[in-house]
Amino acid sequence: MRVGIICSPDYLQRIRDELTEHLILFERAGHYQSEEFDAQITSAINISMDVLIVDITCTDDETIVKGLRKYRITKSARVIVIAPGRSPGDITMSKLVADGIYDIIAPPLPEEDDEASSFEIVLGLQNSINQEYHMGNAARWRIYQDDETPKERQKLKLPDINFNRIKGVFSGNRKESSSLGELVDDFDLFDDDAVTSSNRTEIIERYIGTVAIAVFSGIKRTGCSFTALQIASWLSQKYRTVYVEMEQQTSTYYRSLDSERTSTSFKVDNLTLYPGVSQLDELLFEDWEYVVIDFGTRWRDHLPSFARSHLHILTAYSCDMDATADLLTHLYDKNWKRPVHIVVTATDAGFKEWTEAVSRRERKDLQLHFWKQALCDNPFQNGVLPIHELIGAILPKKKRGFFNLFK
């Protein structure tokens, strides 16, 4: 088995001792700052290996999460995490499990029991390497907000979405909302007759021009970038598609992907990615069929581009009903009259709570559509999100003639 190691000097020899029968292709030991650890992860990405072993004491928790997420999104290699002193309920471990890292070894801290710590590392590596890769191995480390036992569920207050608050725009009774800050623009100023539902041109064979898809969120960590990449990757299999990231804080993350790179953009298979709003003007000189814009939480900073997009996808997490309701209220207070597709990352039970919070009549009146997203390892692989149905309104359609009705 081909193995890579990133660890602190304290654990290097213990890990080596257990890997004598395996081929170590990559080995780094030290204590790293954020940029240094990112460089080590980038180096590991460029090496073909079966397992990457990472000791989390070599850097801080936030850097560990960002670095391993970058690795998991680009490589299918298994990741084994050594997390001394950690226990179930640890938020960092829960984040790693959510990113598809299911092998966690948590020995005692060395200063507490050095002999026991070494033994657990050896035993843990043996078990992890020999057992099947499966989420059940890490279920105890995952923190769920929407799938507790009935007794635990009673302690968690799940807010109702009061959609009566946002119906006023359809009846002419406008209400002011102040929970998210003011949107100074009225969306009526941006509405384009060519894309309103009452005057939409039928799509036959292909769109004329470029179709823009806006993916946005009310709060961070709802899977916005993941969903945008998933949709863009799916479209790129048949259409000339580009992905644009508006939150530049994560642009280095996407630049780590195995890709064909230029000075401003790069490619993953057939998909072109622009990692920053500064390159947005360059798209005007390209003949794209679809542009997927990852607005993240920055959609308010780009209202004209956001409002004029042809399709709007709002990502949410199972426990953020309040944030989503406030965001929708804010939109409707500003004369929003377009469909919104809400992609919720949740378990079956959590997704059911969302759909039951809104009646069929309310969904129809407010043009709300709910879709279930699942935790996946890689946005460039087909997942459970029904993308064809989700974006069906903007896909080319063949117009059927009278004589083709019965074919």
- Taking 60 as the threshold, does the pLDDT of residue 157 lie above it? no
* CATH number where 107 lies: 3.40.50.2300
Is 375 a residue whose pLDDT tops 50? yes
Residue 146 lies in a domain: no
- Average pLDDT for residues 336-340, to the nearest whole number? 87
Residue 183 has pLDDT above 60, yes or no: no
Q: Any long-range contacts for 8-12 (C-beta under 8 Å, 24+ apart)?
A: 8/55, 8/57, 8/58, 10/57, 10/110, 11/55, 11/57, 11/82, 11/84, 11/121
Q: Is the pLDDT of residue 351 over 80?
A: yes
Domain boundary among 85, 109, 141: 141
pLDDT of residue 259 exceeding 70? no
Strands 211-217 and 241-245: unpaired
260 and 324 share one domain: yes
Of the ranges 77-86, 237-246, 319-328, which one carries the lowest mean pLDDT score? 319-328
User: Do the Cβ atoms of 159 and 322 come closer than 8 Å?
Assistant: yes
What sign has the CA pseudo-torsion 137, 140, 146, 149?
positive
Token pair recorded at residue 312: 């709007």
Kindly state the tokens that stand for 396: 């080319």
Is 148 among the domain residues?
A: no
pLDDT of residue 248: 57
- The per-residue pLDDT of the chain, averaged, comes to 74
Structurally, how many domains does the chain consist of?
A: 2
Residue 6: what pLDDT?
94
304 — pLDDT class (breaks 50, 70, 90)? confident
**Domain contains 157:** no
Return the top range by mean pLDDT from 30-39, 71-80, 380-389: 30-39
Checking if the pLDDT of 207 tops 80, the result is no
Residue 48 has pLDDT above 70, yes or no: yes
Whether 370 and 334 have beta carbons less than 8 Å apart is answered as no
Clarify whether residues 137 and 249 are in a common domain. Answer: no
Are both 21 and 77 inside the same structural domain?
Answer: yes
The pLDDT assigned to 364 comes to 84
Does one domain contain both 60 and 124?
yes
How much is the pTM?
0.52
Please count the other Cβ atoms lying within 10 Å of the Cβ belonging to residue 219: 17
Give the best-scoring range by mean pLDDT among 82-96, 245-259, 348-362, 393-407.
Answer: 82-96
Neighbours of 128 (CB within 10 A): 20
Confidence of residue 377 (pLDDT cuts 50, 70, 90): low
- Residue with the larger pLDDT of the pair 224 and 255: 224
Does 236 share its domain with 277?
A: yes
Domain containing 321: what range?
A: 163-404
Please provide the size of the chain in residues: 407
**Are 186 and 135 contained in the same domain?**
no
Q: Residue 344 phi/psi, 5° resolution? A: -105, 125
SS3 content of the chain, % helix, strand, coil (to 5): 40, 20, 40
Residue 100: what are its φ and ψ, rounded to 5°? 90, 20
- DSSP 8-state class, residue 310: S
Phi, psi of 268 (to 5 degrees): -125, 110
Domain shared by 265 and 353, yes or no:
yes
246 with 385, same domain? yes
Percent of the chain having pLDDT more than 90?
15
User: How far is it, in rounded angstroms, from Cα 257 to Cα 25?
Assistant: 20
Quick one: 64 and 197 in the same domain?
no
> 40-49, 244-253, 271-280, 334-343: which range is least confident on average?
244-253
Residue 11: name the closest of 126, 131, 127, 114 by CA.
Answer: 114
Higher model confidence: residue 84 or residue 28? 28
Q: Is the pLDDT of residue 365 over 60?
A: yes
- Residues 136 and 220 grouped into a single domain: no
Q: For residue 94, give every residue at least 6 positions away whose Cβ sits within 8 Å of its Cβ, in sequence order, or none.
A: 141, 142, 143
For range 233-240, the mean pLDDT: 90
pLDDT band of residue 216 (cuts 50, 70, 90) is very high
Residue 274 near residue 288 (C-beta atoms within 8 A)? no
> CB-based contacts of 363: which residues, under 8 Å, 6+ apart?
369, 370
Q: Is residue 301 part of a domain?
A: yes
Give a yes or no: residue 307 inside a domain: yes
Q: What is the pLDDT of residue 110?
A: 63
Domain match, 170 and 96 both = no
Which of 20-24, 280-284, 345-349 is predicted most confidently?
Answer: 20-24
- Over residues 138-158, the mean pLDDT reads 50
Q: What confidence tens digit (pLDDT) does each residue in 217-227 have?
A: 888 878 888 89
* pLDDT over 50 at 98, yes or no: yes
Q: Select the more confidently predicted residue: 10 or 193.
A: 10
3-state secondary structure labels for all residues of 218-262: CCCCCCHHHHHHHHHHHHHCCCCEEEEECCHHHHHHHHCCCCEEC
